[in-house]
C-alpha cells in the first residue's frame, strides 16, 4: 500500500536535516539534499512498517499542507 506523507528538508551547517511531521520522531539527515531525501524516505518506510493497521489508517487520513509565505517586518 502507498502512503503520502510530508517530508521537510532543511539545510544547516552540517548538511541537510529531514523529518516527517506526521510521524513523531521520524527523521534523518544527509550531506546533500538528495541523500537526505533518500534517507528520510527509508526512515518513513521503516517507521510505517512498525505501525499496526489502525495507526496506518490514522496517518493515511492526516493531511499537512505547506506553503511559502513572505512577510515584511519593520
Structural domain harbouring 24: 8-60
What distance in Å separates the CA atoms of residue 73 and residue 49, rounded to the nearest whole number?
44
CATH of the domain at 24: 3.30.160.250
Of residues 62 and 46, more confidently modeled? 46
The total of structural domains in the chain comes to: 1
| Within a domain: 67 | no
d(CA 25, CA 28): 10
Average pLDDT over residues 68-72: 87
The C-alpha cell 512498517 sits at 49
Q: Does 2 fall in a domain?
A: no
Residue 71 lies in a domain: no
pTM for the model:
0.82
For residue 62, pLDDT over 90 is answered with: no
What mean pLDDT comes out for the span 2-25?
A: 93
Amino acid at each position: 500500500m502507498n502512503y503520502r506523507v510530508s517530508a521537510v528538508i532543511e539545510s544547516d551547517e552540517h548538511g541537510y536535516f529531514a523529518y516527517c511531521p506526521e510521524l513523531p520522531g521520524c527523521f534523518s539527515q544527509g550531506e546533500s539534499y538528495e541523500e537526505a531525501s533518500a534517507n528520510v524516505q527509508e526512515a518513513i518506510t521503516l517507521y510505517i512498517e512498525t505501525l499496526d493497521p489502525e495507526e496506518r489508517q490514522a496517518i493515511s487520513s492526516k493531511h499537512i499542507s505547506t506553503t511559502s509565505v513572505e512577510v515584511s517586518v519593520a
